[in-house]
Structure 1
Amino acid sequence: MIEVPLHEVAHGRAGDKGNRLNISVIPYKPEAWPLLAEQLTEARVLEVFRHRGATAVRRYEMPRINAFNFVIDDVLEGGVNTALNLDGHGKTMSFRLLALPVRVDRTMLADASPWAEDTSPGDVAQAQKT
């Protein structure tokens, strides 16, 4: 097992409605879904967005299509029409979730992942600096 950012094993889509954010997480490989189900809990996702005022997360599992849908309340500072920040839309928020570290087997990585070969994350970080 190795620890990698979620985006190495899954992609996401996001949308917003008012002050509610909706993020789907879809593993690149179906065999990653059970491991992600263990790690992407409502509590863990809430912690990712708590600094933005999120008050609740509901996770909807879609095992037949190997996906999750997270609905996050009160995370958009009132929504696109009331927020003072530059981008009140939820689309950019999926990247925060996709940066979350997860532990997976190396075989579950996307083929283009820098971690797909037999290197440690430290080796990859060093290679990216050069």
Structure 2
Amino acid sequence: MKLKDLAHSRTGDKGDIINISVIAYNEKDYPTLEKLVTVEAVKKFLGETVQGEVIRYEVPNLGAMNFVMQKALRGGVTRSLRLDKHGKSLSSILLEMPLEINN
């Protein structure tokens, strides 16, 4: 199963910082997301894309988490040579993260 099977996402940026929200389609799946979509798992999955710290903020009443990632845009919109200077595609990439769910 992939993250996109349980959640959708939105992305925003500010300078060289990107935030990616992960929002459960169904509130009953939020505890599973909370358990599996950890800072360590996200950082490992995105690899060298995120060079700095990753912080997770939990919003359980919305069934959502927000990941704030430092040094993720290679200098920010005005300096980056990346094709996706705002990092909008990173939310789609993150949704491809595999989840191992043990019943």
Structure 1: stretches of 5+ with no match in the other structure:
107-130
Structure-2-length-normalised TM-score = 0.92
Aligned to 2:53: 56
Between Structure 1 and Structure 2, the one with more helix by share is 1
Q: Secondary structure at the match of 1:102?
A: coil
Q: Secondary structure at the match of 2:78?
A: coil
Share of identical aligned residues, percent?
40
Taking a change above 3 Å as real, the CA distance of residues 69 and 21 of structure 1, as seen in their structure-2 partners, is same
Alignment gaps of 5+ in structure 2:
none
State the shift of 1:50 in Å: 2.9
Give the Cα–Cα distance (whole angstroms) in 2 for the partners of residues 55 and 97 of structure 1.
Answer: 17
Q: Which has the larger radius of gyration?
A: 1
Per-residue CA deviation, residues 90-125 of structure 1 (Å, 9 max, x unaligned), is 21110111000113489xxxxxxxxxxxxxxxxxxx
Deviation above 6 Å: which 4+ runs of structure 1? Answer: none
Output the TM-score relative to the length of structure 1: 0.74
Give the aligned length: 103
User: Where in structure 2 are the equivalents of 1:1-130 lying within 5 Å?
Assistant: 4-104=1-101
